[in-house]
């Protein structure tokens, strides 16, 4: 492990909720919850004002509404979140070529590899400058952790929240870790944490005192050895700049089970088309088509079919998905559908029609999975969802506060305006239409000081993206990979 704290971990503060507050002046300082708004929806992100009431991510939305009935509940706007994420990732790539995005709002950076920092003081300066640049470019705040390893840098950023910076000085790592709960360490989830608790181990200090042999006996060789090393503040994992894309997929969870077989088929076709769009945005194609079906009883099935070569042809992928659906019984109802493509390549095999060959796939139940909040296609007809951007021919840009009984309530304001007025319209008012999100910050997006390390700051989002593309169409806290090589930092 290196000696200087030159591994940086950035975590944007309550990212989705902060974007919504920055976009909607009337919500600043208020409790905001972003996620699926139906009876089966889950919380994607809660603002710090909402967290005071006990609301947190992955919580059922119905429970969140009971805890914070007066909060603003909004649908996610992933297009805007991805745009802002691209701006943030571009700033990180100015610091170093070794940037490892973990999600839209989180990444590791090897500052030493880019010459941005060599010691404790230069690392702190780089971290403070990054926070200032993020605020200048996006109007948002991020928390920064600096340490000699990825594990410690992530712990430091958690302790810095919200809107702070924490640097773990060399030589203080063991003392910092000792009182922390074992769940703090990477690889200790609920099951492992409960297993360790039953063995009388609840803190990192107790984990270290248990010894490697005992941990191997409790958890197995690989897991036991890894956790013992981390309990001693040893983490040799490098920052990995690019990860090979393994799959691209989309899925939707439905508020009410779908029983109509025709509608299930239409939903699968729509998901296949969305999956193709993501493939093409990433410049990828794939040869294995995967269908995911979660039924009324929460059992989840996957089916796959492998083609003779990679494709991004929507007809081929739709037909393969339809064939896979034929092998699944949906008579009891369906609550989730997903379509994915794996076996990715950066070229396309022509003339794949009638050339697919099914590969039998056993049922793969998935237990305990939290349903992801996903971006759905625009609804048919005049359906308005809370948080959606709209434009009125007379009143200008606004967002939907709520709808029902044939009416929709809109607050007209922009990121740069004062809190706006609220007006109500009939849902089919021809003067009201959906709109694209407005930028949070107007004017040149480059930070006031430019690149503190000598490079020119990107002057447009397109130029910023050109300095290193972040993964297209990522979902929160999950990645389908990026294109490129496998550069890594030195442990």
- Spatial separation of the C-alpha atoms in residues 289 and 237, rounded to whole Å: 33
For residue 182, give the DSSP letter.
G
Show Cβ contacts of residue 446 under 8 Å, excluding neighbours closer than 6 positions: 137, 456, 457, 458, 459
Using a 10 angstrom Cβ sphere, with 0-12 exposed, 13-18 middle and 19 or more buried, the burial of residue 175 is exposed
- Spatial separation of the C-alpha atoms in residues 311 and 354, rounded to whole Å: 13
Helix (H) or strand (E) run with residue 49 in it? helix 48-51
Residue positions counted in the chain: 491
Angle at 102 between CA 98 and CA 106, to 5 degrees: 90
Helix (H) or strand (E) run with residue 208 in it? helix 204-210
Helix (H) or strand (E) run with residue 319 in it? helix 314-326
For residue 27, give the DSSP letter.
G
Angle at 294 between CA 272 and CA 105, to 5 degrees: 65
Angle at 477 between CA 471 and CA 478, to 5 degrees: 55
User: Is the distance from CB of 36 to CB of 253 less than 8 angstroms?
Assistant: yes
Does the annotation count 173 as an active-site position?
no
E runs forming strands in 114-258: 142-147, 165-167, 247-258
- Spatial separation of the C-alpha atoms in residues 151 and 237, rounded to whole Å: 9
Handedness of CA 84, 85, 86, 92 (dihedral sign): positive
Handedness of CA 228, 231, 236, 240 (dihedral sign): positive
**List 106, 112, 173, 267, catalytic entry:** 106
Show Cβ contacts of residue 404 under 8 Å, excluding neighbours closer than 6 positions: none
- Spatial separation of the C-alpha atoms in residues 467 and 117, rounded to whole Å: 20
- Spatial separation of the C-alpha atoms in residues 96 and 271, rounded to whole Å: 37
Pairing of strands 300-311, 32-35: unpaired
Residues identified as active-site: 106
């Amino acid at each position: 492990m290196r000696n200087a704290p030159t591994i940086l971990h950035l975590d944007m503060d309550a990212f989705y909720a902060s974007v919504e507050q920055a976009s909607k002046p009337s919500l600043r300082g208020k409790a905001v919850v972003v996620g699926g708004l139906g009876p089966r929806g889950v919380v994607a992100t809660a603002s710090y004002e909402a967290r005071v009431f006990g609301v947190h991510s992955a919580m059922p939305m119905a429970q969140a509404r009971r805890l914070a009935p007066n909060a603003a509940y909004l649908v996610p706007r992933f297009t805007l979140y991805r745009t802002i994420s691209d701006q943030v990732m571009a700033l990180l790539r100015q610091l170093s070529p070794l940037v490892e995005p973990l999600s839209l709002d989180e990444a590791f950076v090897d500052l030493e590899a880019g010459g941005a920092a060599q010691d404790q003081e230069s690392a702190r300066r780089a971290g403070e400058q990054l926070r200032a640049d993020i605020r200048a470019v996006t109007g948002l705040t991020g928390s920064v952790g600096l340490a000699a390893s990825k594990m410690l840098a992530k712990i430091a950023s958690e302790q810095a929240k919200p809107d702070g910076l924490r640097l773990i000085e060399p030589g203080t790592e063991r003392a910092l870790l000792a009182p922390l709960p074992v769940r703090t360490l990477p690889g200790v989830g609920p099951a492992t944490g409960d297993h360790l608790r039953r063995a009388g181990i609840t803190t990192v200090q107790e984990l270290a005192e248990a010894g490697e042999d005992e941990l191997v006996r409790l958890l197995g060789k690989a897991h036991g050895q890894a956790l013992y090393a981390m309990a001693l503040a040893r983490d040799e994992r490098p920052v990995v700049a690019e990860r090979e894309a393994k799959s691209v997929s989309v899925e939707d969870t439905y508020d009410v089970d779908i029983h109509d077989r025709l509608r299930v088929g239409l939903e699968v076709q729509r998901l296949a088309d969305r999956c193709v769009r993501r493939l093409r945005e990433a410049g990828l194609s794939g040869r294995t088509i995967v269908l995911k079906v979660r039924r009324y009883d929460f059992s989840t099935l996957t089916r796959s079919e492998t083609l003779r070569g990679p494709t991004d042809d929507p007809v081929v992928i739709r037909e393969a998905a339809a064939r896979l659906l034929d092998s699944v019984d949906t008579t009891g109802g369906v609550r989730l559908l997903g379509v994915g493509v794996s076996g990715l390549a950066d070229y396309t095999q022509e003339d794949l029609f009638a050339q697919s060959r099914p590969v039998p796939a056993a049922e793969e139940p998935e237990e305990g999975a939290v349903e992801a909040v996903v971006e759905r296609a625009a609804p048919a007809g005049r359906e308005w969802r809370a948080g959606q951007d709209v434009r009125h021919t007379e009143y200008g840009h606004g967002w939907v506060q709520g709808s029902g009984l044939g009416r929709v309530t809109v607050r007209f304001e922009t990121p740069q305006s004062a809190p706006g007025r609220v007006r109500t319209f009939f849902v089919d008012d021809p003067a009201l239409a959906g709109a694209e999100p407005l930028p949070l910050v107007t004017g040149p997006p480059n930070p006031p000081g430019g690149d503190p390390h000598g490079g020119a700051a990107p002057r447009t989002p397109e130029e910023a993206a050109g300095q290193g593309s972040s993964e297209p169409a990522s979902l929160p806290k999950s990645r389908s990979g990026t294109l490129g090589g496998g550069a890594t930092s030195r442990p």
